[in-house]
Structure 1
Amino acid sequence: MIEKKKTVNVLKTMSVLASVRVVTIISSLIKNKVISIFLGTEGVGLFGVLQNFQSLSSAFFGFGVSKSSVRDISFSKSSNNSNVEVSKMAKTAFYLTLLLSLVGNVIIILFSNELSELTFDSNKYSIYIKVMSLSIFFNILFNGQQAIIQGLREVKILAKSAALSAFIGVLVSVPLYFFFKLDGVTYAFICSSLISFLVSKRYSKKLNLTEVNLKLSEFVVNSKNMLVLGGSLMIVSVMVSLYGFVLKAYLVKVGGLEIVGVYQSGYQVLGGYFGLIFTSIALDYFPRISEVANDNIKINQEVDIQSKASLVLIAPLVVVIVFASDWIVQFLYSKEFLKTSSYLLYGSFGITFLPLGQILGMVFLAKNNTRIYLIMVFALQILFFVNSVVLYQCYDVKGLGMAFSLNMFLNMLFPWLINKKIYNIKLSKDLKRIMFQVLLFTTCSVLIVIYVEETLLKYVIGGVVFFTSLFYTIQEMKRSLDLSLLSFFKKK
């Protein structure tokens, strides 16, 4: 009964955050569509490179404080501290992110020529780098503000803030793409980051925090704790962002911005839009396993529940991605991006492994085993890059899709084997069965698309496979999660 209640809570949290994710996805779809129409593959490629530059810079100069402060604020609140102490911790997080964002802004401007040469193999884009420094400044502040809201476990406020930021951001960005063309991409980044920060700041006023005076000595002590853990998390974030940054820089050199645009669009569909299911992991699952970090049996139970809840929802979505890849690409982008369909086709296998890798990887953070986590992530990023380069050279865009699937498999395999060795945390037979069945749906769908040439027959079979996978999901929710889909929505 307790496990069923946990499962219901997991799915309800996922549904709330998924609703917000729908808004952000629609906003992203509109941006991508507008860029692809007005700016073409070059514009999408520039957007992808600058987006990764912003992500990498925010991770580096943010020093992981947006993640470590969540833990410190949550711990302070759960330790029955007074609201004054919790408020001081939140204020420390804000001032620290402000300081870090200022430092990052100055450094990026000073080294804009070198960064342009590194990113675009030319210093003529240095003005873009300088303009992006403002976007990174506000993005770090936004991440810090969201961390305060998340640390206080105010999921609804967090969700509303993210949804409104995305909505206003797209309203402002679209005219910029239209009037300023490629230059508008950088202007849109600045406006979106600024809007996101202002909206989150406004919503933070609804938090139950007390206005406090923070002494310098208190700021130093609190900041030190945040920076120690944040440093390790920052290294992880930088390594992940660096992989994407270096890979796109490589693709720019060998294929130009056009191939980066194709890669970016494919990765966005598989790695970005499937965040509809996985968004709740960091906000809901991580605090749960942190509470039972010293009990491996309970952690194993949480891993099993979260993994099953994620996987049973994947099957019909993967089938849709495989059979409707051409339609999806044209709807999200344009006919100019039809090469992306092969990326989606061969990358669809990775979707099954993606959530499991995240779920198992967070166990190391819950147990504060950052050393093992850092070594594992470092090794994985090197393998990811090698796989992507080798397979791209052999199979072009198909190879990038194959690399995504292979990389996501390794991203699941490494933490699975290490957790099993160190903590005796295993994947249950029931979970392995579900994973195999989802992969079976994926394999059948891919083979049908490749070998059935008659269009009408292909989509008739695809419809049968889709409804079979949908029926499977409903039945699996009842069998493995002891949850009726109808009763779940009635309870909501």
Structure 2
Amino acid sequence: MMDKEDSYKQIAKSTGVVGGTQILNILIGIVRMKVLAILLGPSGVGIAGIFQTIVDLVKDATGFGINFSGVKKIAEVSESRDPKKISRNIKVLRRWALGTGLFGTFIIIGFSQYFSIFSFGNSDYTRSIIFLSIIVFTSTISASQIALLQGLRKISEMAKANLFGTIAGTVVSLPLYWWFGNKGIVPGMVLTSICAMCVSWIFSRKIKIQHVDLTISQSFKDGLGMAKLGFFIVVNGFVATLSMYIIRKIIISHLSLTSVGFFQAVWTISTVYINVLLHAMLADYFPRLTMLQNDNQASNKLINQQLEVTLLIGTPMLIGMIVMAPIGLNILYSASFDVAVPILRWQMAGSFFTLLSWPLGVLYLSKNEGWYCVISESLRQLFYISFVYFAWKYFGFNSLGIGFLLAGVVNVIFVYFSLKKISGFKFSLINIKFIIIFGTAVISILSLCLLFNGWLTYLFSFGVVLLFTIFCFKKLDQLIGIKQIIVNKFSLKNN
């Protein structure tokens, strides 16, 4: 077993590799979002958001969560060092991805008219939604290939596949938005998905596997284990995606498609930036936690270590985004999106509670306690939808952000007490201190930015961001020697 210092370094290494490429993905995404906002406007962004929600809804409902359960299965069999066993499970994963991808394709084609009527109030978008079926298939195949790389802990290859897929998709899709405007949304999304699939295939095909005789029926039986665990992932993802679908319907019922575009912009920013950490965390953290699933003491220790690093890296980022929300929306989209600034600030503050719950919630799946995962997400989304629905007359558009934060608090409470029951989990003393200090800072900066405006507010807020960044950097240096890592990195480049 790793000692404490090595464990922190492993966390930092995987976070650095995946997080670094995710940052590049974000920079590329900034260009893409900016072009979309300028060329398509808020309504075009809203249409693209609804299309993506439909894709996610069908993919989650028909994918059986194999992109996630596959990671767990591959990670488990890789520990056996048995090439035949590993090859067999890789083949099963690939066949299930092909089958579920085709299943999702047929579903979205069959229900395309219903999706159009329910989403837009008419059947005008039926043909466009039919073409979205291509994305369901290609993204399912791509996700399984990324899952294979992650399960085998080929973190660098996985990160490169995600990065190059994003670059290729951006290069081929942006001209379509330029030439065709809103009519280029679906072709652009399709080409982006195809590029991601091709790039992930290039990296995953390098994995050498032995020949294994495996019939279709055997593949189905062997894959049922993944599907059983994946069932919880399916329900979980479906609940989250359905929630966003309902939220967008609520916005349209009160306001317009343009307002959906404002919400889409906020949701994209808040989820994209937080996913830098979450994806970096899951890349190596989930396989490692899976290997410790039968050792509560070791798994709880790893959870606290991961949470500590996540808070130190994520908190300054969240505080900075709360302060810079107006600038961020202007840079990433346009001045017309300024109405969404308060919502973005509420959601970035709410993301602090996502940072708390994610390292803990991964234990559900590593211990095959998927029902807790479903209950946790259902509770969070039910609270969120209910708050937005009933509080709209009091808070209007801002209820979207307030509800997100409060739902995050509810989720953290449930996750903590359920993990205490499952594995006897307790926050470490240092994490309790960080949660109190960082949580107070996030809420204080949020309140300051919402209640006051002007250069003095920005000056003070930037000062707080700077102080927390320095503090977190020093703490990370104590844990993993981050200064020396940076010095060594530049020394190697100069030599």
TM-score, normalized by the shorter chain, greater than 0.5: yes
Distance (whole Å) between structure 2 residues aligned to residue 155 and residue 475 of structure 1: 26
Deviations 1:56-90 (A, max 9, x none): 11111211122222222222221232x23322221
- Cα offset for 1:172? 0.9
2:24 is aligned to 23
Deviations 1:157-186 (A, max 9, x none): 111111000001011111111112112111
1:80 is aligned to 81
Kindly tell me the number of residue pairs found equivalent between the two proteins: 488
1:57 is aligned to 58
User: What is the 5 A alignment of 1:12-411?
Assistant: 12-81=13-82, 83-411=83-411
Deviations 1:27-81 (A, max 9, x none): 2222211111011110111111111111111111211122222222222221232
2:492 is aligned to none
* TM-score under structure 1 length normalisation: 0.94
1:482 is aligned with what amino acid? Answer: L
- Cα offset for 1:375? 2.6
2:486 is aligned with what amino acid? Answer: F
Distance (whole Å) between structure 2 residues aligned to residue 385 and residue 98 of structure 1: 34
Is the Cα contact below 8 Å between 1:239 and 1:378 reproduced in 2? yes
- Cα offset for 1:392? 3.6
- Cα offset for 1:217? 4.3
Is the Cα contact below 8 Å between 2:76 and 2:290 reproduced in 1? no
Distance (whole Å) between structure 2 residues aligned to residue 348 and residue 70 of structure 1: 29
Percentage of matched positions with identical amino acids: 23
- Cα offset for 1:436? 1.6
Deviations 1:213-246 (A, max 9, x none): 4333432332222222222221111111111122
Residues 1:466 and 2:474 aligned together: no
Given candidates 476, 479, 482, the residue that maps to 2:479 is 482
Is the Cα contact below 8 Å between 2:319 and 2:445 reproduced in 1? yes
1:163 is aligned with what amino acid? Answer: L
- Cα offset for 1:13? 0.8
* Structure 2 counterpart SS, 1:124: coil
Deviations 1:251-277 (A, max 9, x none): 223222111111111122222212122
Q: 5+ unaligned residues in a row in structure 1: which ranges?
A: none
Distance (whole Å) between structure 2 residues aligned to residue 249 and residue 28 of structure 1: 26
Q: Which moved more, 1:14-23 or 1:268-277?
A: 268-277
Distance (whole Å) between structure 1 residues aligned to residue 165 and residue 225 of structure 2: 30
Distance (whole Å) between structure 2 residues aligned to residue 352 and residue 377 of structure 1: 16
Q: Which moved more, 1:219-228 or 1:40-49?
A: 219-228
Distance (whole Å) between structure 1 residues aligned to residue 465 and residue 68 of structure 2: 38
1:468 is aligned with what amino acid? Answer: L
- Cα offset for 1:129? 1.1
* Structure 2 counterpart SS, 1:234: helix
Deviations 1:348-385 (A, max 9, x none): 32122112211111111111112333233222221121
Distance (whole Å) between structure 1 residues aligned to residue 430 and residue 232 of structure 2: 34
- Cα offset for 1:491? 5.6
Residues 1:4 and 2:5 aligned together: yes
Is the Cα contact below 8 Å between 2:379 and 2:411 reproduced in 1? no
Runs of 4+ in structure 1 over 6 Å off = none
Compared CA separation, residues 399 and 484, structure 1 to 2 (3 A): same
Is the Cα contact below 8 Å between 2:90 and 2:148 reproduced in 1? yes
Distance (whole Å) between structure 1 residues aligned to residue 228 and residue 446 of structure 2: 46
Compared CA separation, residues 214 and 389, structure 1 to 2 (3 A): same
Distance (whole Å) between structure 1 residues aligned to residue 449 and residue 370 of structure 2: 43
- Cα offset for 1:451? 4.3
2:77 is aligned with what amino acid? Answer: S
Distance (whole Å) between structure 1 residues aligned to residue 103 and residue 347 of structure 2: 39
- Cα offset for 1:194? 0.8
Distance (whole Å) between structure 2 residues aligned to residue 117 and residue 195 of structure 1: 30
Deviations 1:396-421 (A, max 9, x none): 23221111211222221111011123
Distance (whole Å) between structure 2 residues aligned to residue 447 and residue 119 of structure 1: 35
